[in-house]
Amino acid sequence: MAYIRLFSSRKDEECFLCRAAGGDDDMEKLVVFRGGTCFVILNRYPYNNGHLMIAPYRHISSILDLNEEESIEMINLLKLSIRALKEEYNPDGFNVGLNLGRGAGAGVEDHIHFHVVPRWIGDTNFMPVISDTKVIPEALHETWRRIKERFSHLTA
């Protein structure tokens, strides 16, 4: 309910990705890496530890609106994100994708972004089914610190 209330109360507010893109407190906004045209941000409401999103700085809703530079950087950041998560968390696999439009399940329709979700064999359990609760074993800001450090190491 907290998630639903948060987003239903922010209908007229600025996009959270735009706020993060323009912000200067990366820890507060959960930004782990800033590129030239795109950035990587930790999902505040993750499916799993290390759930990242990659978005352009520009507020655009369609993959067709990405310019060449943004397209290339998004794919390069996708590769970098997978490398960082592999090194830091050693997942068994990844869910990677984007939801284009409300009909496709987009929670944020107006600002295109890729999801990168690390997955481990056995990471699904009874908690979401029985109690509508998702267990995330690491505090969000600890995950932010670890991933940000890994990105810094990989891009040094």
pTM of structure: 0.85
Token pair 């999103």 in the structure block, residue: 53
Q: Is 111 a catalytic residue?
A: no
Going through the chain in order, the beta strands assigned E by DSSP cover 31-34, 38-42, 52-56, 93-97, 114-119
Structural domain boundaries in the chain: 14-155
pLDDT one-digit tens code per residue, 35-87: 999 999 999 988 889 999 999 999 999 999 999 999 999 999 999 999 999 99
pLDDT one-digit tens code per residue, 3-37: 555 545 555 567 999 999 998 899 999 999 999 99
Contact between 128 and 93 under an 8 Å Cβ cutoff? The reply is no
Q: How far apart are CA 48 and CA 70, in angstroms?
A: 26
CATH topology of domain 14-155: HIT family, subunit A (3.30.428)
DSSP-derived secondary structure letter, 118: E
Q: How far apart are CA 88 and CA 106, in angstroms?
A: 28
Catalytically annotated residue among 113, 115, 141, 153: 113
Contact between 63 and 57 under an 8 Å Cβ cutoff? The reply is no
Contact between 69 and 59 under an 8 Å Cβ cutoff? The reply is no
